[in-house]
Structure 1
Amino acid sequence: MQPKKILTCITIVTLSFIAQSTFAQKISLIKALNEPNHWVDSVFKKLNRRQRIAQLFFIRAHTNRGQAYEDSVGKVIKDEHVGGVVFFQGGPVRQANLTNTYQKLSRVPLLVAQDGEWGLGMRLDSTVSYPYQMTLGAIQDNNLIYKMGQMVAYDFKRLGVNINFGPVFDVNNNPNNPVINYRSFGDNKYNVAKKGIAYYTGMESGGLITIAKHFPGHGDTNVDSHFDLPLLAFTRERLDSLEQYPFREAISAGIGGVMIAHMSIPALDTTKNLPSTLSRPIVTGILKDSLRFKGIVASDAMEMKGVTKYFPNGEADLRAFLAGNDLIELSENSKNAEKLIRKAVRQGKISKEEFEAKVKKMLAAKYWAGLNNFQPIATTNLTADLNRPAAAELVQQLSDAAVTMIKGDSRVLRQNPLKRTAIISIGVEGQTTFQRELFKWYPNSQLFQVSKNAAAADLNNLLSTLKQYDQVFIGIHDSRLRPASKLDYSSDVKMLIADLAAKPNAVVSVFANPYAIAGLPGIEKSSALLACYQKDDSMQRAAVKVITGQQKPIGKLPVSINTFFTTGMSVSL
C-alpha cells in the first residue's frame, strides 16, 4: 500500500495557495528560504522526528542500472522518507518516468537534483552539453553565460529536476588539479566570480535551485577528494583573499546554495584528518556566521573517500549535520546515519531551533521549486524539447565567442585558397568536422589523420609528403571523454607537432584543455595558434570561422599556460 501523501493532507488546493505557488519563484530563493511559509509549517508539523531528519538526506539514483537497482532506490524512498534523489547516468525519458514513479512513493514530494555543470549532457544521453566552464571562462560577454543558465534551467525543469549542483566557483590555480581543472572558469578570481554569478542568476531566473561549489575552494589541490582527503596547506589570509573570494561575491549576489568540499584545512580547523564538510568552525563559523550565508548548505557526496576514509558507517553524516550542513548528499549508510542523528538530537547536541531551521529550509526549497503543487512530468516530445534548435544555436554562439587567438594575425589565418593545402587532424582515427569545414574553403587540399600513437615510420612519411604542400592547417584533438591537462599522445606524435608548427604559415588549433599546450614544446613556433578548449564539433566549426575570416577571435585565455601564454592573453585582429 502506498504511503498517504502529506501533500493531500494539507488544504493547499485553494486559490490562495495556487497564487502563492505562482509567486514562489518571483522572489529569490534566498528570500524564500528565510520567510515564514504556511505550507512549510503545515508539512513540518505532520512529520515525526525521524521523518524530519530524513528530509535532509538525498540518495543516489540511476536509470542505466536495471530494474532491481531502481526498485531498491524506491524502497529507500518509501521506507526512509528521504528528502530527495540525485540522478546520475541514464536517459531523459527513462529518468522522467522514474521520477514520476519515485514521486508517487514519497510522502512529501522529492527534490530532484543532478550534477549538470555543463547541462544535462554531463550525465544523460540524448541531451545537450553546453561548453565546459573553462571554455566559458574565455568568453567576454557574460550575458551569453546568463542565457546559458536560463537554457540549462529550462532543460532541468522540463525533466523534473529542481536542483543543479553547480556552478563551480573554485579558482583553478593548479594546472595539475585532477578533479576541478576544466570544470572551473579559470585562475582569475574576479573572472570566476563574475562568470559564476552570471551562470547561477540565469539558472535561478528559470526556477532552478543552484549550489555553488566547492567551499572554501578546491582549485589548488593535487588530490581528488573522490579517492582521498586533500590537504589545503595555505594561510588563512591566502584562503580568504583568493579561494573564498568568488564565494563571498556569490553570497553577496544572493545565491541560494553552497556546497562544502572534503578537504583538510589546518589554517581553518586544526583537527587532524577532519574534512571541511565535518568542521563546525568552517561550515558554521566561517560560511554561516562570518560570511552570513543564509541559504542551503550542502555537503559534497558523503560516499567519497575524502570523507569516509576516516569517518565510515554514518559517522561522517552525523558530523556533517552537527557542523551545519542542511543537505546531506549520497550518504554511505543513510539508515544508520539517520539513527545517529536522531540520537544526537535527542541528547541535545544541537539546539531545537537549529534543527528545525534545517528541515524547514529544505521544505521551503521544495515550495520555491513548486513541489507544493507537484505535477507529473509529461514525456510527450520530451527528447525534442530538450534538443530544440535554440539550444544548438546557443552552443554554437558560446563556442564562437570562446575561440582565443594566442599567436598570429589575419594574414596568416586567411591563406590562399588556391594553393596546395594540407589539413591535418592529430589524435583521431577518422575525418573531423574541422577538416570537413575547412575543406569547403580550401578545395585544393588533402586531409590527413594522425592517431595519438602513430608509428614513427608513418610520421616520417607524412613529413616527407607534406613537402609538396604550400600551407598547412593543424587540428590537435583530445578524443577522451574529459579534457585532461596533458595529452595522452606518444612522444613521437608530440615531436611531429613541433615539426609541423615550425613550417612556414602553419596554423594550429588546439581542441583540448588549454593546459595541454604547455606539454607540446615547439608549438609556440607556429605562425598562428588558436586555443579552442574542447573537442566538440561546435568548437571545430568556430575555429574554422576564425581561420576563414567569418568571425574575429574574441576569447581571452582564462588560465596561464606557461611563460608564453598567460591569463587574459589574446591577439586581436
Structure 2
Amino acid sequence: MKILNRLLFSVVLCLFVLPGKTQNQPEFLKYLDDPWVDSTLTHMTLDQKVGQLFIAQVYSKEKLPAGHAIFEKISRYHIGGLIFMQGTPANQLAITNQLQAQSQIPLLVTMDAEWGPGFRLTSAPKYPVQMALGAIQKDSLIYQMGYEVGSQLKRIGVHVNYAPVADVNSNPANPVINYRSFGEEPEKVAHKSWMYAKGLQDAGILAVAKHFPGHGDTETDSHLGLPVIRHDFDRLDHVEMYPFKHLIGQGIGGVMTAHLHVEAYDPESDLPASLSTNMIQNKLIDDLGFNGLVISDAMNMHGVSKQFSDGEATVRALQAGNDMLEIVPNLPVRIAAVKAALKNGQLTEEQLEQKCRKILALKKWLQLDRYTPASPEGLEADYQQAGYELTKRLLHEQSLTLLKNEGKLLPLKRLDTLKIAALSIGADHETPFQKMLSRYTTVDVYHLPKNASKEAIQKLMLELNDYNLLISGIHDMRLNVSGNYGLTPVINEVLQALASKPQIVVLFGNPYALNFLPDVEKAAGLLVTYQENQMTQELAAQAIFGAIRVDGRLPVNVNDTFFLNQGITLPKIGRLKYSIPEEVGLSSFKLNSKIDSIAELGLKEKAYPGCQVLVAKDGQVIFYKSYGYFTYDKKRAVDQSAIYDWASLTKITGPLPALIKLHGEKKFNLDLPFSFYWPDFRNTDKEKITVREVLAHQGGLTSWIPFYKNALLKNGQLKSSVFRDHPIASFNRRIASSLYLNEHYIEHIYQEIRDSRLLPHRKYTYSDLGFHIFPRIIEDLTGNDYEAYLRDSIYAPLGANTITYNAYKHFPREDIVPTEQDNVFRKELLQGFVHDEGASMLGGVSGNAGLFGSANDLAKIMQMYLQFGYYGGEQLLDSASIREFTRIQYPKNQNRRGLGFDKPFIDNHKNKLDEAYPAVDASPESFGHSGYTGTFTWVDPKNQLLFIFFSNRVYPTRENPKLFKLNIRPAMHQAIYDSLK
C-alpha cells in the first residue's frame, strides 16, 4: 500500500507540471524515493510523523537553561524543525548542535534571514534591504549576495531561509512589506527574487518565497489583523502572483503562505490564504504546479489566530496544502488536533505520509542523513570575510538613486568656486557622511535635531548665509511607514527655509518618505540611499563628488514627482574612491598584515615615533592607516587629520605642477637656458645650463648650501643684521616661533647660489639649488604670487586644501606632526615651521621644501599625475607635458631622473630588495619622490598604483638612520606589489 501511495504521489507530481511550459522541479524532490527516506519513514511512529509538520521557535540570545520547553518539543513531540530568532551566531551554532544531538530525526533548522544572518543575529553579516536591491541594475550581484547568505547560514547549521520576499509592493502605506520588497514592477521583482533564491540554493540552502499569494497591496499588518486583497483574478495573476509563478518555473524549493484574505478566491468567507484550499491546493499546487515545500507564515500571527483556535487553524492549514507550520504556540493542543483529524478523516494518512516524505526528501538533499555538527572554530573570522563586505558595498553603491539634478550640478566640479556647508538633520555629531565629504574638499559642518526649536533654526539660517552650496543629509529615519518614517515638521521647515539656496539633499532612508517631504522638491539635487549606515553615508558623499557612478532606478512609485524607474545616471569623473582591497582584487588580510608588520617594526625599532600609509589602486584608496604617535611620549596618536612636513616631496607638488602647467601652455621651454628665466645666471659659469638639466639634476649644480651658517657669528650666535627675535621693519620673514629674518637677506641667498661652485661634469648630482629659485620664476611667468597661483590653479580645483606652506599659520599646533629638535639654528622643536634650513631662510616658501599637508591631499595630486593631469572632471595639466616630465631624461649616463620626479634605479628589477629603489617591482614608467623628514610617495601608471608613506623619522634628531637601515619604505612598497601577485 505504501509503495502504491508513493507511486501515485510521483505521478501526481508529474501531472502538476503545466502543459506547454518548462517547469524546473525543486531539486530535493529527486530524493522522494531515496532509501534513507523510505527507511526513515517506515520506522517512524505516528507521533513522529505528526511532529515533523511543526517548526518551533528558539532564541539564541543566551544558552538554553535546563528544562527549557524546546527539549520536550524535541523528545516528546518529535518536531520537524526549528526557527531561530534573535541571538548571536556562536550561541545559535552551539544550541543547534545541542538540539540536533537530542533529536532522533535530524531537525530542519530555519531562519528569517531576509538580508542575511544579521537580520536576526548580532555581529553577523547584513546586506541591503530588498527595496535597495530593487534599485540596482546588476542582478548578478543579487545572486552573489544570495550565495553568500546561503554560505553564512550553512556555516551555523541553518538549512532553510525564509527569503526572498517575492511580494510586489504597490501600496506606499503597506506597514508590513514595504521596504522588504524588491519593488512594484512584477517582472523585476520576479527576476531579482530568483537571483536571490538561486544563490541560496546553489549554496545548499532551501529558499522559501513569501508571502503567497502576495502581500504587497495591503494596509493591515498580518501580525496584528487580517489584511484583505480585493483585486480580481486578472490583476492577481499579472501582479501579485507573477513573481511566484516565475519562481516556481525556475525551481524554487519552498513557498510560504500568507495570513491574508483574497476575496476573489474565497468570496463567501474571511478565510486567510494560509488556510484556504482554493488558494493553496487548487491554485498554488494544482494550477501553478508547485511541488516543493509549502510552509505557513507564523501561526501566532493575529491574521490567523484571532479567527480560529489553535487546533482548528492547524487542521485547516494542513488540509489546505501546507506541509509545515511555523511558530506554533500550544504545540500539544495542535498535535492532538492533528491526531483527531486523522481519526475522523479530516486528514488522511496518505496526506500525512506525503508531507513527511517531502520533508524527509528535503532533509536528504540537505545531507542530514549524514549529519555532522557545525564547528565553532573560526566562526567569527568566517563571518568577517572581506569579500562579504565587498558584496554589501557594491550593492549599496549600485542602489544609490539620483532623483534630481538641476543644472547638472552633480557630480560637483570646480571645487574652487564652492563654499560648502554640510548639514546633518537628525544628528547631534559629525556624521560619517560629513567626514567623507571633507575628504574631497573643505566643508563646514552643522547639525540640527529633528525637533529643533525655531530659535535654533533661525540661528542656523544666519550661519548658512555665507555659503553658496548646502549639502543636507536627512538622518535617523525609520524604514517603515510608522510615524511618517520618523520625519518631523521641523525637517520640512528647514528645507523650506533653505529652498532659495543651491542645495543637495540626501535622504538616508525609504524613498516612500518623500511623500512626507513636499519641500524636498525644491532642492537642486536629491539622492536616495534607502538605508542609513556608515557605508551608505560614505558612498553618498563619494557619489556627490563623482568618485563612483550612480545608476540606481526607483523601484516604486512614490508620487507624481518621484515615480517608478526614475533615476539619473551620474558618471565618475576621476576623483579618488575609498574602498577596500577586495574591490581591486587584493586581500585585505594579506595587505594589512604585510604593511602592519613593517610599520610596527619601525615603531619597535624607533625608526620613527609614528607613521601613516595610504595605498590606492585603480583610482581607489584601499588602505589608509595611521600608526604610533607624534612623539615618543605617546601623548598624541597619529590620525588622518595629521599634518606632515613633506620635505622634498615639495619639489613635485609645489613648483613642478606649476611648471608642467606652464609647459602645457607653451609658456615654459625646457630646453632654453635656465638663465633665460633667471637672469642672475647670465655672465656666469651657469649661463648655458638648460632648464631640463636643472630639473633632471644634470646641470652640475652643487648639492646644497648651508645658507644659515653664513648668517652665524664665529661663536655660533645669529647675526643681528640677519635675525631678530621679534618682527620689526624689514625683519618680517618668520622662520621659527621667535625668529625673524631680514627680508633683504634673501637676495644674499640667491647670490650664494649664483656664486656657488659648478661641478666639472654634466652627470647626475642631486641638487636643491634650482628648486630654491623656481618659485620666483613661476611668479615672473604668471604675474601672480607663487602661493596664490598654486592654490588657485592646482590645490583648490583638486580640493586639496590642507596643502600649504608655513603650516603654523593655518593649523592648530597640536595637529602638526613635529620634526626635529633644532639645537643649532632655530633652537626649538620644529612644529609647523619647515625643517629644511634653506627653505626656512626663504621664509618657509621654497621649491625644494616647505609644503605641509595631509596624506589624503597628497594623494589627490599624485592621482592627478597618474591620470595624466585629469582629476575631478577637469584636465588640470597637459597630459603630454606630464609624460615628458615623468620620463627618464639622461639614461645614457645612468641618470635615472625625470624632470623633477625621481624614477626607479635603471635596471631596478634586477636588484635585490635591499639594493632596489624604490621597490623591485616598481615599473620603469613609475615615478615619485622621497623626503628627508621621512616622507615618500610613488605612483606607477603600469600598475595603476599609488603609495604614500609619511613619518617624522627626524624626531627628535636627524641622526636617526633606522628608517634607511631597516629599508622600511622600499620594503613596504614591495609588499604592496607582492600583494598584487
* Fold in common (TM above 0.5): yes
Matched, 1:194 2:191: yes
For structure 1, which segment, 419-428 or 41-50, has the greater mean C-alpha deviation from structure 2 after superposition? 419-428
Matched, 1:355 2:352: yes
For residues 344-401 of structure 1, give each alpha carbon's deviation from its aligned partner in whole angstroms, at most 9, with x where no partner exists: 1233323433321111101111111111111111111112211211111111111111
Match of residue 429 from structure 1: 428
Distance apart, 1:151 and its partner CA: 0.6
**Equivalent in 159, 164, 184 of residue 162 of structure 1:** 159
Contact 1:275–1:307 under 8 Å retained in 2 = yes
* CA distance in 2: counterparts of 1:389 and 1:29, whole angstroms: 35
Q: 1:409-558, aligned counterparts within 5 Å?
A: 410-418=408-416, 419-443=418-442, 445-480=443-478, 486-500=484-498, 502-558=499-555
**Equivalent in 25, 30, 52 of residue 26 of structure 2:** 30
For residues 235-256 of structure 1, give each alpha carbon's deviation from its aligned partner in whole angstroms, at most 9, with x where no partner exists: 1222122101111011111111
**Equivalent in 177, 200, 210 of residue 213 of structure 1:** 210
Contact 1:459–1:493 under 8 Å retained in 2 = no
Higher relative contact order (CA 8 A, sep 6+): 1
2:196 counterpart letter in structure 1: Y
TM-score (norm 1): 0.92
Q: Which runs of 5+ in 1 are unaligned?
A: 1-27
Contact 1:453–1:489 under 8 Å retained in 2 = no
Contact 2:492–2:519 under 8 Å retained in 1 = no
Matched, 1:85 2:85: no
Distance apart, 1:415 and its partner CA: 4.4
Q: 1:413 aligns to what SS in structure 2? A: coil
For residues 278-319 of structure 1, give each alpha carbon's deviation from its aligned partner in whole angstroms, at most 9, with x where no partner exists: 111111010000111000000000011110101123221111
Distance apart, 1:551 and its partner CA: 1.5
Matched, 1:173 2:170: yes
Q: 1:440 aligns to what SS in structure 2? A: helix
Q: 1:391 aligns to what SS in structure 2? A: helix
For structure 1, which segment, 348-357 or 222-231, has the greater mean C-alpha deviation from structure 2 after superposition? 348-357
Q: 2:184 aligns to what SS in structure 1? A: coil
- 1:99–1:29 Cα change, 3 Å: farther
1:387 counterpart letter in structure 2: Q
* CA distance in 1: counterparts of 2:183 and 2:390, whole angstroms: 25
For structure 1, which segment, 144-153 or 32-41, has the greater mean C-alpha deviation from structure 2 after superposition? 32-41
* CA distance in 2: counterparts of 1:424 and 1:330, whole angstroms: 45
Q: 1:80 aligns to what SS in structure 2? A: coil
Distance apart, 1:478 and its partner CA: 3.2
Match of residue 243 from structure 1: 240
Q: 1:226-375, aligned counterparts within 5 Å?
A: 226-375=223-372
* CA distance in 2: counterparts of 1:43 and 1:543, whole angstroms: 55
Contact 1:86–1:114 under 8 Å retained in 2 = yes
Contact 2:63–2:95 under 8 Å retained in 1 = no
For residues 483-531 of structure 1, give each alpha carbon's deviation from its aligned partner in whole angstroms, at most 9, with x where no partner exists: 768332321222112333x243311111110100121012112111111
Distance apart, 1:232 and its partner CA: 1.2
- 1:246–1:363 Cα change, 3 Å: same
1:548 counterpart letter in structure 2: F
TM-score (norm 2): 0.54
* CA distance in 2: counterparts of 1:324 and 1:302, whole angstroms: 15
* CA distance in 2: counterparts of 1:484 and 1:413, whole angstroms: 34
Q: 1:303 aligns to what SS in structure 2? A: coil
Match of residue 24 from structure 1: none
* CA distance in 1: counterparts of 2:285 and 2:483, whole angstroms: 35
Q: 1:40 aligns to what SS in structure 2? A: helix
Distance apart, 1:453 and its partner CA: 1.3
Match of residue 662 from structure 2: none
Contact 1:508–1:526 under 8 Å retained in 2 = yes
For residues 172-207 of structure 1, give each alpha carbon's deviation from its aligned partner in whole angstroms, at most 9, with x where no partner exists: 000010000000000111110011011100111000
2:188 counterpart letter in structure 1: N
For residues 306-338 of structure 1, give each alpha carbon's deviation from its aligned partner in whole angstroms, at most 9, with x where no partner exists: 101011232211110111100110112221111
For structure 1, which segment, 289-298 or 64-73, has the greater mean C-alpha deviation from structure 2 after superposition? 64-73
Contact 1:63–1:70 under 8 Å retained in 2 = no
Contact 1:427–1:450 under 8 Å retained in 2 = yes
Distance apart, 1:414 and its partner CA: 0.6
- 1:157–1:70 Cα change, 3 Å: farther
For structure 1, which segment, 135-144 or 450-459, has the greater mean C-alpha deviation from structure 2 after superposition? 450-459
Distance apart, 1:150 and its partner CA: 0.5
Q: 1:407 aligns to what SS in structure 2? A: strand
Q: 1:102-121, aligned counterparts within 5 Å?
A: 102-121=99-118
Contact 1:423–1:435 under 8 Å retained in 2 = yes
Distance apart, 1:416 and its partner CA: 4.1
Match of residue 21 from structure 1: none
Contact 2:64–2:95 under 8 Å retained in 1 = no
Contact 1:412–1:527 under 8 Å retained in 2 = no
Contact 2:311–2:338 under 8 Å retained in 1 = no
Percent identity over the alignment is 38
For structure 1, which segment, 217-226 or 517-526, has the greater mean C-alpha deviation from structure 2 after superposition? 517-526
* CA distance in 2: counterparts of 1:296 and 1:363, whole angstroms: 11
Match of residue 99 from structure 1: 96
Equivalent pairs, count: 544
Larger radius of gyration: 2
Contact 2:132–2:530 under 8 Å retained in 1 = yes
Distance apart, 1:545 and its partner CA: 2.0
Pairwise CA RMSD of aligned residues?
A: 1.7
Q: Which runs of 5+ in 2 are unaligned?
A: 1-23, 571-981
1:185 counterpart letter in structure 2: F
Matched, 1:394 2:387: no
Q: 1:319 aligns to what SS in structure 2? A: helix
2:173 counterpart letter in structure 1: N
* CA distance in 2: counterparts of 1:108 and 1:248, whole angstroms: 33
Match of residue 571 from structure 1: 568
Distance apart, 1:481 and its partner CA: 7.0
Distance apart, 1:536 and its partner CA: 1.8
Q: 1:448 aligns to what SS in structure 2? A: strand
* CA distance in 2: counterparts of 1:234 and 1:304, whole angstroms: 23
Contact 2:477–2:508 under 8 Å retained in 1 = no
2:484 counterpart letter in structure 1: K
* CA distance in 2: counterparts of 1:474 and 1:69, whole angstroms: 53
